Structure 1
Amino acid sequence: MSKEENKKLFIETLGCQMNDTDSQHIIAELKEHKNYSTTRNMEEADLIIINTCSVREKPVQKLFSEIGQFNKKKKDSAKIGVCGCTASHLGDDIMKRAPYVDFVLGARNISKIKDVVDKKGAVEIDIDYDDSTYQFAASGMNMYKTSVNISIGCDKECTYCIVPATRGEEISIPLEMIVEQVQKDVANGAVEVTLLGQNVNSYGRRFSDGREKTSFTKLLQEVSKIDGLERIRFTSPHPLHMDDEFIEEFAKNPKISKCIHMPLQSGSSSILKAMKRGYSKEGFLKRAKKIRDLIPEVRITTDIIVAFPGETQEDFEDTIDVIKQVRFDQIFNFKYSARPNTQALELEDKEIPDEIGSARLTEVIELHKLHQSEHMDSNIGKTVNVLFESLKPNGEVSGFTDNYCQVFVKGSDELLGRFVDVKITGATRTALKGEVIN
């Protein structure tokens, strides 16, 4: 079949790193099958796609605000598509509220993009759809870093979370497909990979083809055998599934980045039970201590939700206590907001007054700022190894250390894609400054 005339695609991605990867799949599929190339100028685009997130507060308002602006500014012939998690739970309601939208594609249905792009009114939001063995078109992007999905969906029932309702049950992608994709990306110049899943360390429990179970630790071992791959990251793991085998592999495997995301959510065992997280305050602290004992240079990051329905002052103090004990290197802080299709909606009568929630959030942020400053200042004078990946407009180049501190140095594009030793000369709460050691 002859390809149509080259068309322009503008895509806006909201939310998590998995959404970023889904957008790369959309771009690659439309380039391969429909001859689209990307543009950063929305007004010249023939197709405008917004890849949505439904995890954060007010995503629905943001979605309709964004597509309303797109509709005002786009050229007359341009089509608009809505993809991702908000698309999954709103479905054809999107078209009822915004009839100028041409198609809706849920987060579990990304492989169908080439089929729906030319079907006015198409709505594909089946959260049971299985594309775990679908071979997406190659992106062809020569990047130093790549990301690869290792599973789709989530089997957890965290009471605050909408993801299972938008991405469906968890299915692992076959190990050999993951290894093959990483090998291709390394051949195209990647030296670092991030393995993505809603809960990466439950990888291997269920496959579409009924094959034997395996483990995330086994996957890490197989991926680390790839020649030319220098660094492996992953997100997000779940504290409940951080068994000794996993932690020991994380500690001893030199290719695995020594930065780990441990989503705490709450330091209160009673709130954790209400959230259905599956671990206690003491269990979390035990896992964090084991990791810090094995890897002194590790950076531990986390998510925290304050003011979950029913959270007492004592519950909140437990969260503060965990923060003080673990001294997280980065915290993604949130004040609880009710999400559609979640069990926590039943706790409406226990919701915390907004002013109390805001005060608790501020307390977490201020405490974390102190810890951040101390962590970052402790790097001054050290020599670190940095993978440089992006040019900045002020004559600087930025990259990340093995334990995922961002570093800025004076330099040019000759540093890009290289691992370079840097002497740290200064620090802010969020980044380091340094000088390349020749």
Structure 2
Amino acid sequence: MSRTYEVRTYGCQMNVHDSERLAGLLEDAGYERAPAGGAPDVVVFNTCAVRENADNKLYGNLGHLAPVKAARPGMQIAVGGCLAQKDRDTITRRAPWVDVVFGTHNIGSLPALLERARHNEEAQVEILDALEVFPSTLPTRRDSAYSAWVSISVGCNNTCTFCIVPSLRGTERDRRPGDVLAEVEALVADGVLEVTLLGQNVNSYGAEFGDRLAFGKLLRACGQVEGLERVRFTSPHPRDFTDDVIAAMAETPNVMPQLHMPLQSGSDRVLRAMRRSYRRERYLGIIDRVRAAMPDAAITTDVIVGFPGETDEDFEQTLEVVAEARFASAFTFQYSPRPGTPAATLPDQVPADVVKERYARLAALQEEVSWAEGRAQVGRTLEVLVSEGDGRKDGATARRSGRARDGRLVHFAPGATDPRPGDVVEVEVTYAAPHHLVADGAPRSLRRTRAGDAWAARRGAPARRAVGLGMPSVGVPAPLPAVTACG
């Protein structure tokens, strides 16, 4: 009988996509996904190391599994991702019942490591210090039939003092444009309508092969892929955000009017201490130019509260920027020191009670701004890509959910229609909350799509096919296809 697996994912979109690759690798090796609530033969933890409690969460979960494994001979536990890259041998010392530890640079080794651990009856730890094969060449089991992640780069060349990611993911490595487009075209051929381009610093794409305008060119090239209806990207860095990228977004119809632009702080002094190579004025200037080119763009951000040395005045400047930028939403974080980062040893660590109070004030302000921005959508007709398991909703209303073109979550009443995930509806917004919109009238239109067909086919006969994309090309990339600007 086939062995079953379960992948548990923590952290960012990069980790979510890596977990799709881990699932693809396991299925390619003959494993089957464990049914919900089942007892898998292999549990894989794909970890994150960004937050302070990441270690406690992992070891707590490993502790819960220890008696389960003891009662099930042959069960295996693997730990990968950023925390595995950081802790290395620490994991098997603190949790000796773990069978495999692998890092961010060698996720493709997982099936072989599991087999070796089973054969040798001892833990296998393999951590590489540099990427050997670009992970997008690995087989992938996509979670969605209609929307897909596409990595265009891995690693980061920045030196932000609060961030541990560059030391765990390595320096930036860029895929060749032709390889990216080949993956996008293959996904569209399988029914995908929407792709999200991923990179630790997505808009610095091209740095490795010396083309500062490569990201704008890639967006325009995605606009030429027939059948691709929505293109998103995350996360850009203000330092590398050029007017060419703004123009590419505005001129390419299938690039969505959505931008996630991390702010981190509204204080120039704190930004300098963070080694964020932009200042408040430049950041707000980017926001202004994006809105001038795309008036309906929804802009979201990240903000850190309580960075070492942050004063009351610094924090007030952050509140000023948040109020002025009018973000649709924000991911707000209380600073937590990460061992191995320069910020962890900085003087003037802000007391926890002060951080907590500032965080509450920021959250309250952003809630107010988000709600006001949402209310501005009431009465508008939005095109919504129907999704599966996206957001919370009241089951008594029988509402369905999806994402508008600008990325906002919309709960809508299907009326007499029966849209499938991947289909597209047009709905009129009747109510707004800070984190979602509601459309309680019947959809104005329903468009059944290839993506909806793909979802239905997968539901009727779950696909086990894992798609490999061949080996990456090397050297100077071939030129992208010629693109004509569209208004």
Deviation of the 1:117 alpha carbon = 2.0
The farther-off stretch of 83-92 and 134-143 is: 134-143
How far apart, CA to CA, are the structure 2 residues paired with 1:286 and 1:140?
37
SS of structure 2 residue aligned to 1:107: coil
The farther-off stretch of 402-411 and 114-123 is: 114-123
> Which residue of the partner structure matches residue 158 of structure 1?
160
Deviation of the 1:250 alpha carbon = 1.5
Q: Deviations over 1:38-62 (max 9, x none)?
A: 1244652111001101112310000
Residue 233 (str. 1) matches residue 232 (str. 2): yes
Deviation of the 1:318 alpha carbon = 1.0
Q: Is the 8 A contact 1:127 1:165 kept in 2?
A: no
> Which residue of the partner structure matches residue 397 of structure 1?
400
Q: Is the 8 A contact 2:382 2:428 kept in 1?
A: yes
Q: Is the 8 A contact 1:161 1:342 kept in 2?
A: yes
The farther-off stretch of 106-115 and 390-399 is: 390-399
TM alignment of 1:321-400, pairs within 5 A: 321-347=320-346, 349-390=347-388, 394=396, 395-400=398-403
Which of 64, 67, 70 does residue 65 from structure 2 map onto? 70
> Which residue of the partner structure matches residue 148 of structure 1?
150
Q: Is the 8 A contact 1:10 1:41 kept in 2?
A: no
> Which residue of the partner structure matches residue 472 of structure 2?
none
How far apart, CA to CA, are the structure 1 residues paired with 2:418 and 2:43?
32
How far apart, CA to CA, are the structure 2 residues paired with 1:112 and 1:413?
43
The farther-off stretch of 130-139 and 369-378 is: 130-139
SS of structure 1 residue aligned to 2:105: helix
Q: In structure 2, do the counterparts of structure 1 residues 296 and 233 end up closer, same or farther at CA, with 3 Å as the change threshold?
A: same
Which of 43, 48, 61 does residue 48 from structure 1 map onto? 43
Q: Is the 8 A contact 1:179 1:223 kept in 2?
A: yes
Q: Deviations over 1:12-38 (max 9, x none)?
A: 111111111000001111111x20111
Q: Structure 1: which 5+ runs fail to align?
A: none
Deviation of the 1:138 alpha carbon = 4.3
SS of structure 2 residue aligned to 1:257: coil
Q: Is the 8 A contact 2:42 2:75 kept in 1?
A: yes
Q: Is the 8 A contact 2:204 2:212 kept in 1?
A: no
Q: In structure 2, do the counterparts of structure 1 residues 134 and 329 end up closer, same or farther at CA, with 3 Å as the change threshold?
A: closer
SS of structure 1 residue aligned to 2:27: helix
> Which residue of the partner structure matches residue 195 of structure 1?
197
Q: Is the 8 A contact 1:133 1:174 kept in 2?
A: no
SS of structure 2 residue aligned to 1:11: strand
Residue 167 (str. 1) matches residue 169 (str. 2): yes
Deviation of the 1:308 alpha carbon = 0.5
**Matched AA of 2:162:** Y
SS of structure 1 residue aligned to 2:316: helix
How far apart, CA to CA, are the structure 1 residues paired with 2:436 and 2:130?
41
Deviation of the 1:338 alpha carbon = 0.2
Residue 28 (str. 1) matches residue 24 (str. 2): yes
Q: In structure 2, do the counterparts of structure 1 residues 31 and 266 end up closer, same or farther at CA, with 3 Å as the change threshold?
A: same
How far apart, CA to CA, are the structure 2 residues paired with 1:82 and 1:140?
21
> Which residue of the partner structure matches residue 57 of structure 1?
52
Deviation of the 1:71 alpha carbon = 2.3
How far apart, CA to CA, are the structure 2 residues paired with 1:78 and 1:138?
23
**Matched AA of 2:378:** I
**Matched AA of 1:62:** K
Deviation of the 1:6 alpha carbon = 1.5
Q: Is the 8 A contact 2:177 2:218 kept in 1?
A: yes
SS of structure 1 residue aligned to 2:116: coil
Deviation of the 1:214 alpha carbon = 6.0
Deviation of the 1:115 alpha carbon = 2.3
Q: In structure 2, do the counterparts of structure 1 residues 271 and 300 end up closer, same or farther at CA, with 3 Å as the change threshold?
A: same
Q: Is the 8 A contact 2:308 2:350 kept in 1?
A: yes
Deviation of the 1:268 alpha carbon = 0.6
Q: Is the 8 A contact 2:136 2:151 kept in 1?
A: no
- How many residues are matched? 429
Which of 5, 9, 33 does residue 5 from structure 2 map onto? 9
User: What is the percent sequence identity of the aligned residues?
Assistant: 36
Q: Which has the higher contact order (CA 8 A, sep 6+)?
A: 2
> Which residue of the partner structure matches residue 412 of structure 2?
409
Q: In structure 2, do the counterparts of structure 1 residues 130 and 296 end up closer, same or farther at CA, with 3 Å as the change threshold?
A: same
**Matched AA of 1:409:** F
Residue 437 (str. 1) matches residue 439 (str. 2): no
Q: Is the 8 A contact 1:148 1:196 kept in 2?
A: yes
Deviation of the 1:340 alpha carbon = 1.8
Q: Is the 8 A contact 1:388 1:398 kept in 2?
A: yes
**Matched AA of 2:6:** F
TM alignment of 1:63-142, pairs within 5 A: 63-74=58-69, 75-120=72-117, 121-132=123-134, 135-139=137-141
Q: Is the 8 A contact 1:49 1:80 kept in 2?
A: yes
Deviation of the 1:415 alpha carbon = 3.7
**Matched AA of 2:158:** K
With structure 1 as the length reference, what TM-score do the two structures score? 0.94
Deviation of the 1:276 alpha carbon = 0.6
With structure 2 as the length reference, what TM-score do the two structures score? 0.85
> Which residue of the partner structure matches residue 272 of structure 2?
273
Q: Is the 8 A contact 1:102 1:119 kept in 2?
A: no
How far apart, CA to CA, are the structure 1 residues paired with 2:361 and 2:140?
46
